[in-house]
A and B are shown apart, each in its own frame.
Chain A
Amino acid sequence: MKIDTAEHSDYMVVSIAGEIDMYSSPALRDTMLSMVKKNVATVIVNLKDVKYIDSSGIATFVEALKKMLAYKGKLKMAQVPDRVMEIFNFSKLDKVFDIYGSLEDAAKS
């Protein structure tokens, strides 16, 4: 798994590529929690190149979301691949995360 972060004027983008599993999710958790620690107002997670996500990856996003909501931050998911979306739907997380078709839509909303 590869993680890139990009800082914009009023939001940050976390782009993830590869597979998110029990092996790689601790690195993702470190990235997400570092943003929580800085109270970043809006984080957009670009999932376009994610090939797989397991329950530990989902748990990482849920944990980050809960911590961000505590300071009224926003966690947005963008460009979610079909298979990852199926997993979000099954886990009923499609109703919890703000999901956007593009980074532009996520940034504008």
Chain B
Amino acid sequence: MDNPIVITIPSHPKYLAVVRAAALLAAEICGLGAAEAEDIKHAVDEACSNVIKYAYKCDCTRKITVKFEDTQESFQVTIEDSGNKARLEDIKIRELDEVRPGGLGIHFIKKAFHIVAFDKKKRNGNRLLLTRYKNTDEAALSK
């Protein structure tokens, strides 16, 4: 895929379908398998939903920028917003064994990507960096 692919959507949930479609196609184009591409689609959707909920507090008038990059080693997704600062540890999460509504999104993100991190250099807003290694040996090394 010609690098990178960048899309910007309004922070309204009705545009999440656009991000899902782009994420699925970008993952497929860079050679990931069907199941992996579905996981990527799901993870990017959950991450953008988190931006709307946590960074923008459901303000639908803001912007979310999603960048997809294909390198020899990995498929990378960067999600940027200009909302409230988020920290992974502040995002609602629950143990998978604990059955209650909410708190699952981060599990789906971590299922699809080997590295999930916020760019601490970004001053205003958030830049979430997601990396999926193509080679499982590199993925194991990243753990």
Q: Which residues of A contact B (CB under 8 A)?
A: 19, 21-23, 52, 54-56, 58-60, 62-63, 66, 83, 87, 90-93, 96
Contacts and interface: CB of A to CB of B under 8 A. Distances in A.
A21 B17 contact: yes
Interface stretch (B80-88, B93-101, B122-130, B134-142): B93-101
Interface of B: 12-14, 16-17, 20, 38, 42, 45-46, 49, 52-53, 96-97, 99-105, 107-108, 111
A59 B102 contact: yes
Nearest to B96: A92
A23 B111 contact: no
A92 B97 contact: yes
B99 A22 contact: no
Contacts, number: 61
B96 A60 contact: no
Contacts of A62: 99-101
Contact of A59 (B13, B38, B101): B101
27 contacts: A19-B20, A21-B17, A21-B20, A21-B45, A22-B52, A22-B53, A23-B17, A52-B20, A54-B42, A54-B45, A54-B46, A54-B105, A55-B103, A55-B104, A55-B105, A58-B101, A58-B104, A59-B101, A62-B99, A62-B100, A63-B101, A66-B100, A66-B101, A83-B38, A87-B42, A90-B96, A92-B99
A92 B97 CA distance: 7
A24 B97 CA distance: 26
A99 to B, nearest CB: 15
A90 B107 contact: yes
Contacts of B49: 21-22, 54-56
A78 B104 CA distance: 22
The 5 closest A-B pairs by CB, nearest first: A23-B13, A59-B101, A55-B104, A22-B13, A63-B101
Contacts of B38: 83
Contact of B104 (A19, A21, A59, A66): A59
B33 to A, nearest CB: 14
A96 B118 CA distance: 33
A66 B13 CA distance: 26
